[in-house]
Structure 1
């Protein structure tokens, strides 16, 4: 005991100078836009108090929530450093690291420009009308100093008057914000321009919606319906962790996608789709998805996802929970908010289950490995992806549904996945860290009162077919496959510069087995000119399972003929309906599952 105290005191003495130096260090950013029409942001990074011969500054290589190395440093230009009027020597050490030789100065100004012209929710974009700043692609950080606080002053371009962000404003300083560490700064996107801004309060929290790009939305209707979603999400967890929340919405001719942040989100939408039922519900579903991430992934998170390593991949096998369950819950929130009917809810999930069953890669790659390999597979799809992999979004959504139904069945409707999610949220708060896969499984077993070892082996770590009749049957839902078991070729096509090319071949299909290849040019089918919808051609419609079909193709400039023996389609088209004569237990499970 005495020895332990001595070692602890020694460590404190050893660390005291470093801690004092960090406490005295200040980092301030100033972002301006000299040439927005050319898509540039100009960044000035002022560092005070780092008493070293040199400072290494780094640019992140990825954005949390989007699991791909994006190499943001490729957009950096004109890196220079000064101290007062003195120009300092700089050196680039590697792809995302610059060294500044301070010349014993305590105060250093680093200047650089960032080219920003990629439209997505995860990358920065600047033009004459606005600037969207995704922080991991804009702000460098001092090496090994991610705990440092910082301030950001935004200087809007002439004619721009608004800034929208989840960052905390600095009192008395216009367009100036503060972050207590880099995890917060990098998790707080910034919209600059003349966006339409409206506000509402839900779950006791002020919400700001910043709409860029116009659109046929009705702000009052959105306030009401977005609030309904937020109230339902908060009800699951018993509290809303925010003081304020910001929606940044980019309305384009065709837009989509979203990226979650600690107290904000960025959404892509189609500006003219709000007036249609499908478009409006699609937008609210996106709101529900990203808002649920406030808990699931931002606070209730896999242990690997925070604190972040911004220079390397952060591997986890649990994105099927973080993203897949969120995809599942967007439907539950829409249902509970009264924005879709119970029939729509069941139909949507049944279709999603059909899609998962019909994805050949789902019998090759597990949900856990889909999560782990996100860095090299999900964001880099190729012509064979559907044969070799499964999305952790879609597979996780179905695993979430099956798990929910299993819990409700085991407890006869007394519990559901809701209780698991809330308990895990509380556990992460208490432990001050994310969960492991084993800890999540333990909680599921605690809430349900049964073992989930077999379930994990089948659906999380394995690639077993989905037992849809069993699980939906728990809730008194009957499911049947209405897919036509007709002759099936198994290819997709595209027209490129007037040439009809095969763009994909489905695993174990007739085309796969008999050797039609991606990039083969289809010339003819049984002597008839090939058409883009090959399987709808009259000559194909006459064929039966087991018939051989002659394809005239051109491969690498050489003409060939390949005979393909047609097989039966393996695809399902599931249709479900609630059994009105369901048992009391089935009705209790249905109620627990839907929450209504």
Structure 2
């Protein structure tokens, strides 16, 4: 009995000792930052960059770069990380292969920084006057690898992907000269002037900042149209026939775009400007702003199917506006001295939002897109944002973080997750500003006054002038004193739980309605993207094969359990077609009979009943008064 009790005490003591023992608890390894901070001083020497872009079969750029050095010892090379205009650290460093560094013909070892993977450490040997960097940039060969940049007839060459630069300097202080060898018989365009010898283009010396802001577009089939004494439309296409389809009237509309933009902003912030427009079903589409050029990529038919592609013609007005808004005037927290310094996106509702606003205005003022198609485009924007439940929890200002948070990956529930709403909701906010300016000034002021005051300064200056939220408010206060602009903008940016700000359109004489008649521009979008629009009725967009490409949160389809990835295979007992689904929605209007869908999800097939009876619904803008409204005046040519 005593021995058993002693054993129990010993066991209890042992258990207590184990319970009191601590698990291993390591401490973090300190992070040592050995990357020099950029300073505003000249780099000692001129970099040379040579790119061989002739391998169009495999889409491989062969790069050789010479970087002068002023002494031996540790050096850090940087590959551009943050992409201007992309608003995110997404430059495709994974496409850099076969990286070798030498000095005086001898190999120099490099080591990637363990924390900042866009930085490379190396030791420059004694006596070296320069280092030579060679690598290959392997462009995407399939769409799921990223944007297609090289085809058998076209190529897009972005120096931001084909160069390194020395750490420790503002990029505007690094001189560089670039040479590119293109395929035989091709032509190339860029904002940089070049001396052409055969198929080799030797570009004018510049600095690294301007080089990276000056991409090249090249191809087999090319045509150039001067739009003004300072602006050119450079067009490359898959076929010569597409270029030959451009009529004088089409080109005149582009000339009016330039004329209307200059009249609107009152200044030009470039010595010359080059539209770099690719029309291709093979080269990846793009819309990326630069100070003296823009990369504009759309599918075949821009000219040859002009009447059926009104929606594609918003691209050039938007990107051209960025020369003023985003490139010349830039949010102070977005401007950076190099491409490692983090960009902050808090003012994208001006950078992108007001650019979106002016893109639509200028397309109408120039006649590049008709007024009716512009109104229908507005209606689509308004309806989308007014059917966004995500407004109840996520403020618009937070969507300026989306390029970094989601890196523009597809989303399953965009209407509740929200996406980069600063574009289109920014448009709505600036329409509201315009309407209040007109109302408060009794028609003597409008957003045109803001454009000239904010963007029309320093004619000919193509540097950057930064601004803050306070600067935006101060400009509005100066144009129209006595209104609480700070309060309005703060509410629109940070508020939640409110409907979309449609008041600017309503104050400017138009309201949003829904009918069963689909606008022409909506039909064009369906054809171009190969889907059918039931977004404001059932709450889905349906691809040509019946797959659901979007499902609106809290819609009839959502309530029935449908989601992206499901495929509709049957409608009311018959095989799926978009016409049958439209007919079913129409026939159910005003009845109590549900729409029965046969839906495939993975390997499962199930019957889904949707209790919806309001018919087809498409958004439209209708005028609410007589005479010329504020919106009518806004869209008139200057």
1:591 aligns to 2:591 (yes or no): no
Summarize the alignment of residues 39-50 of structure 1 with structure 2, pairs less than 5 Å apart: 39-50=59-70
Query: Which residue does the alignment assign to 2:30?
Result: none
Summarize the alignment of residues 345-494 of structure 1 with structure 2, pairs less than 5 Å apart: 345-377=374-406, 379-390=408-419, 391-425=421-455, 433-449=465-481, 450-463=483-496, 464-466=498-500, 468=502, 470-477=503-510, 480-482=513-515, 489-493=538-542
Distance 1:554 1:279 in 2: 33
Residue pair 1:200, 1:206 contacting (<8 A) in 2 also: yes
Distance 2:543 2:232 in 1: 44
Larger radius of gyration: 2
Measured at CA, do residues 366 and 574 of structure 1 come closer, stay the same or move farther in structure 2, by a change above 3 Å? farther
Corresponding residue SS for 2:623? strand
Measured at CA, do residues 73 and 288 of structure 1 come closer, stay the same or move farther in structure 2, by a change above 3 Å? same
Deviation at 1:406?
1.8
Distance 1:191 1:455 in 2: 43
Query: Which residue does the alignment assign to 2:174?
Result: 149
Distance 1:593 1:110 in 2: 52
Measured at CA, do residues 375 and 547 of structure 1 come closer, stay the same or move farther in structure 2, by a change above 3 Å? farther
What is the number of residues matched between the two proteins? 568
Query: Which residue does the alignment assign to 1:163?
Result: 188
Residue pair 2:512, 2:622 contacting (<8 A) in 1 also: yes
Query: Which residue does the alignment assign to 2:137?
Result: 114
Deviation at 1:426?
5.4
1:191 aligns to 2:213 (yes or no): no
Match of 2:124 among 79, 102, 105: 102
Match of 1:33 among 28, 35, 53: 53
Deviation at 1:147?
3.5
Query: Can you give the 5+ residue segments of structure 1 that lack an aligned partner in the other structure?
Result: 1-14
Distance 2:159 2:471 in 1: 32
Query: Can you give the 5+ residue segments of structure 2 that lack an aligned partner in the other structure?
Result: 1-35, 518-533
Corresponding residue SS for 2:558? helix
Pairwise CA RMSD: 4.0
Residue pair 1:48, 1:106 contacting (<8 A) in 2 also: yes
Distance 2:356 2:72 in 1: 48
Residue pair 1:149, 1:181 contacting (<8 A) in 2 also: yes
Query: Which residue does the alignment assign to 2:29?
Result: none
Query: Which residue does the alignment assign to 1:322?
Result: 351
Corresponding residue SS for 1:147? helix
Distance 2:404 2:109 in 1: 36
Corresponding residue SS for 2:113? strand
Distance 2:154 2:566 in 1: 44
Distance 1:486 1:270 in 2: 24
Corresponding residue SS for 1:207? strand
Corresponding residue SS for 1:575? strand
1:293 aligns to 2:322 (yes or no): yes
TM-score (norm 2): 0.77
Measured at CA, do residues 82 and 281 of structure 1 come closer, stay the same or move farther in structure 2, by a change above 3 Å? same
Corresponding residue SS for 2:97? strand
Deviation at 1:75?
0.8
Distance 2:629 2:543 in 1: 47
Question: Which range moves more in the overlay, 406-415 or 67-76?
Answer: 67-76
TM-score (norm 1): 0.81
Deviation at 1:188?
0.7
Measured at CA, do residues 506 and 129 of structure 1 come closer, stay the same or move farther in structure 2, by a change above 3 Å? closer
Deviation at 1:231?
1.4
Distance 1:85 1:111 in 2: 12
Measured at CA, do residues 102 and 222 of structure 1 come closer, stay the same or move farther in structure 2, by a change above 3 Å? farther
Deviation at 1:264?
0.7
Deviation at 1:168?
4.3
1:181 aligns to 2:211 (yes or no): no
Deviation at 1:313?
5.1
Question: Which range moves more in the overlay, 233-242 or 354-363?
Answer: 354-363
Distance 1:532 1:172 in 2: 56
Deviation at 1:252?
0.9
Match of 2:108 among 88, 94, 100: 88
1:140 aligns to 2:169 (yes or no): no
Distance 1:258 1:455 in 2: 31
Deviation at 1:367?
3.0
Deviation at 1:294?
0.8
Distance 1:577 1:593 in 2: 14
